[in-house]
Amino acid sequence: MSKLIRPTNYKALLDMRQTEQGIKLIKEFFQQNLSTELRLRRVTAPLFVLKGLGINDDLNGVERPVTFPIKDLADAKAEVVHSLAKWKRLTLAEYNIEPGYGVYTDMNAIRADEELDNLHSLYVDQWDWEAVVTKEQRTLSFLKDVVERIYAAILRTEYLTCETYPQIKPFLPEHIHFIHAEDLLQMYPDKTPKEREDAICKAYGAVFIIGIGGKLSNGEKHDGRAADYDDWSTIADNGRAGLNGDILIWYPVLERSFELSSMGIRVDKESLLRQLKIENQEEREQLFFHQQLLSDKLPLSIGGGIGQSRLCMVMLHKAHIGEIQASIWPDDMREECEKMGMPLI
């Protein structure tokens, strides 16, 4: 409960029936726009994968995946996915997707170690997407172009939502601001990473922070990122390391920064080996996914995840993600939210 944000004078602009209709409208419209903008084909995704293949997303490396034995596979262990960051790249190869095209899917995950608050739930739903790129496209300028196209789809979704529900007023800026995590550190050297995000998002409204996962000049990471999907150690064409980042906005309902997407150009062989060495995870080179990449069986790619419930929360001006999705919450949080006018589904 200590992490629950209690917005002053909060009042939901839509009742629960309108909210459910709004969720449907937003999800259908945004995924069609994303598909068209990035030339993505929808594919069906797994809820769980076999343990020990290196396919599951390790997030920050400390989160425990939900695991269970499979009776018909001699009790081999399966893991509920954290995300599909690496599975999607295997799918690009399986479907022989050409450069300039990709796939997207509805990703549903369980993150049992999540600390529950207004933005974080045990249940995670994303549009996970991945597209094939050429060697020449593995640049920061290409990454920025893709970010701007995703942000354009977000803006169109906001316009449709506000047209459908006039009581909801638009607040997102027309353009998204780019900044490297190191430059952000230099701007706010006395602040924590979260405080830096709040400051830059409040100043610009929408921001893409570049270079998530590598250590900055203070010896710390802006945030954690697994070593085997995003390329966060490449020296990009602006002289800074990193070909990945996060899309964040300033969310006035909660008066804080709000992450909508994590994405990046994926590792090639060289950056995979370099990052595994940096993280002292060289033993992972022997796993199935990593062997596929090191033996040139996987295409170069760019990809990411965009939170479905989070996007709906922002578009509908909700104060708690539990107003958008059905999940499990502590009883005292449910009671407190009910008192504040934000009933959890």
Q: Catalytic residue positions?
A: 57, 111, 126, 246, 259, 262
| CB neighbour class for 339 (10 Å; exposed up to 12, middle 13-18, buried from 19) | exposed
**Per-position DSSP letters for 257-307, written without gaps between them:** EEEEEEEEEBP-HHHHHHHHHHTT-GGGGGSHHHHHHHTT-S--EEEEEEE
Question: What is the CB neighbour count within 10 angstroms for residue 145?
Answer: 11
Token representation of residue 165: 């529900």
Are 77 and 51 in contact by the 8 Å Cβ rule? The answer is: yes
Residues 6+ apart with CB under 8 A from 246: 208, 209, 212, 223, 259, 261, 262, 263
Alpha-carbon gap, residue 65 to 57, rounded angstroms? 9
For residue 325, give both structure tokens. Answer: 């999705």
Q: Tell me how far apart the alpha carbons of residues 143 and 240 are, in angstroms, rounded to a whole number.
A: 14
Tell me the H-state helices in 136-287: 140-164, 181-187, 193-204, 269-278
Task: Give the count of beta carbons closer than 10 Å to the beta carbon of residue 96.
Answer: 8
Distance CA 243, CA 311 (A): 24
Distance CA 313, CA 321 (A): 6
Structure tokens at 174: 């027309």
- Distance between CA atoms of 213 and 274, rounded to whole angstroms? 13
- At residue 209, the 3 state secondary structure works out as strand
